[in-house]
Amino acid sequence: MLDTAHRFAYNEDHAMFRDTVRKVFAQHLEPYLDEHEANGIVPRETWKAVGEAGLLCPTVKEENGGLGLDFGYCAIVSEELTYLGSSAGFTLQNDITANYVERLGTEEQRRKYLPSMISGDIITAIAMTEPGAGSDLQGIRTTAREDGDDYIVNGSKTYITNGQNADMVIVVAKTDPAMGAKGTTLICVEDGMPGFEKGRNLDKIGQHSADTSELFFEDVRVPKANVLGGVGSGFVHLMEELPQERLGIAVGAQAAAQKAFDLAVEFTKDRKAFGKAVFEFQNTKFTLADLKAKLQVGWAHLDWALLRHFEKKLTTDEASAAKLWHTDLQWEAVDTALQLHGGAGYMNEYPIARLWRDARVTRIFGGTNEIMKEVISRSI
């Protein structure tokens, strides 16, 4: 169990919510982790159960059908989900797409999507990355051509989390390719629209329970009413949401680092070598002591960043620094913990193997860590 005794970003209401999250995950996720990994997807009934328990989109305001809570509740879901060892796409809906719809959506769009996103009846995705455009979002080639009361969308996207399950995808498209970033628009494309096809569920190194897909758009006719935010404002909207997205990645990374450390401590105290516990060797103790010190710093920094975000003061460069630092720590922790497991760490039956595989992508998505350094450098 994740130790939260010394956290300072959370209050008693947060603690009560965390207890609920743990109970719901223990019932609806933990017994099925291996099944979700094998199938490459978390089934819709699990989404429904999590939604019915109030764990989806907790920040959505009451007038839009939500609980109107702060981002700390999303962070708690992320911490507990990652510590459990699941890569279910709940956090994308909580941390990212719900905020896009509520902040940018028309009243009609909010009524159409948010209540069902909260209940788990609608699963969402956001489609930015393309085969030829990753961290450089200005390089996207998917287009949306105006045609009367509609846009005609053409292009393809890849590495899209929740892609197989998605009922609605926020698609980043060029409505005016000649305008570069200023010609980018967000458009809600719905499952079942003619010409919108989901490709294969991609075969990834890790995060197997997160369905991740290719998406294809061939002359998809989408009503202009499905534009999210202003036409030509897509790039600006994407930049506005980056602090929360990158903070969310940092939250999961820190929880994963802690889980790796806890697994290493448990394993080395139990496993014997040369007549004594592996933990008793000086190298093991010093290695774990070094990690513990870094985790202590990490939790303090994460709570600082969360409090900054609650007050709407967290800047893009601060969030980028958090994403950079915590995902680097995550990789150090999982790789070190696997090494301390010896040969057992290379076996998929041990949880550390899954944590190690799942960790590799966090320094890539949400903007690569090299891009994070570029962003941070601009603030110096």
Of the candidates 298, 310, 320, the residue with the CA atom closest to the CA atom of residue 249: 320
CB atoms near residue 322 (< 10 Å): 29
CA distance 155 to 142: 4
Whole-number pLDDT of residue 134: 65
Q: What is the pTM of this model?
A: 0.95
CB atoms near residue 350 (< 10 Å): 17
Residue 147, strand partner residues = 150
Query: Which run of H or of E encompasses 297?
Result: helix 282-310
Whole-number pLDDT of residue 135: 64
List of residues 6+ apart from 15 with CB closer than 8 A: 4
Whole-number pLDDT of residue 131: 87
150 three-state secondary structure = strand
Q: What is the mean pLDDT of residues 97-120?
A: 97
Q: Check pLDDT > 80 for residue 133.
A: no
Which residue shows structure tokens 């892609």?
A: 163
Q: Check pLDDT > 80 for residue 350.
A: yes
Domain spanning 236-377: CATH 1.20.140.10: yes
- Superfamily classification of domain 12-122: Acyl-CoA dehydrogenase/oxidase, N-terminal domain (1.10.540.10)
Q: Among 127-131, 143-147, 332-336, which stretch is predicted with the lowest mean pLDDT?
A: 127-131
- Residue 354 has, within 13 A of its CA and on its CB side, a CA count of 21
Q: What is the mean pLDDT of residues 157-168?
A: 97
Q: Check pLDDT > 70 for residue 95.
A: yes
List the catalytic residues: 245
196 three-state secondary structure = strand
Residue 302, judged by CB atoms within 10 A of its CB (0-12, 13-18, 19+), counts as buried
Q: What is the mean pLDDT of residues 328-356?
A: 97
Whole-number pLDDT of residue 139: 78
- At 94, the pLDDT band (50, 70, 90 cuts) reads very high
DSSP strand pairing (124-127 vs 168-174): parallel
- Superfamily classification of domain 125-232: Butyryl-CoA Dehydrogenase, subunit A, domain 2 (2.40.110.10)
Angle between helices 351-359 and 234-270 (to 10 degrees): 150
Q: What is the mean pLDDT of residues 330-350?
A: 97
Q: Check pLDDT > 80 for residue 253.
A: yes
Contact call for residues 251 and 323 (beta carbons, < 8 A): no
Query: Which run of H or of E encompasses 320?
Result: helix 316-340
Q: Among 123-127, 137-141, 216-220, 306-310, which stretch is predicted with the lowest mean pLDDT?
A: 137-141
Q: What is the mean pLDDT of residues 259-282?
A: 96
Q: Check pLDDT > 90 for residue 137.
A: no
Mean pLDDT of the chain: 96
What phi and psi, each to the nearest 5 degrees, are found at residue 184? -95, 135
Q: Check pLDDT > 90 for residue 71.
A: yes
Residue 154, strand partner residues = 143
Measured in whole angstroms, the distance separating CA 85 from the mean position of its chain's CA atoms is: 14
Whole-number pLDDT of residue 136: 67
List of residues 6+ apart from 344 with CB closer than 8 A: 267, 271, 350
What counts of helices (H) and strands (E) characterise the chain? 12, 10
Q: What is the mean pLDDT of residues 118-137?
A: 88
List of residues 6+ apart from 239 with CB closer than 8 A: 316
Whole-number pLDDT of residue 5: 87
Domain ranges across the chain: 12-122, 125-232, 236-377
CA distance 161 to 206: 13
- At 182, the pLDDT band (50, 70, 90 cuts) reads confident
Q: What is the mean pLDDT of residues 104-108?
A: 97
CA distance 263 to 120: 32
Task: Give percent above pLDDT 70 in the chain.
Answer: 99
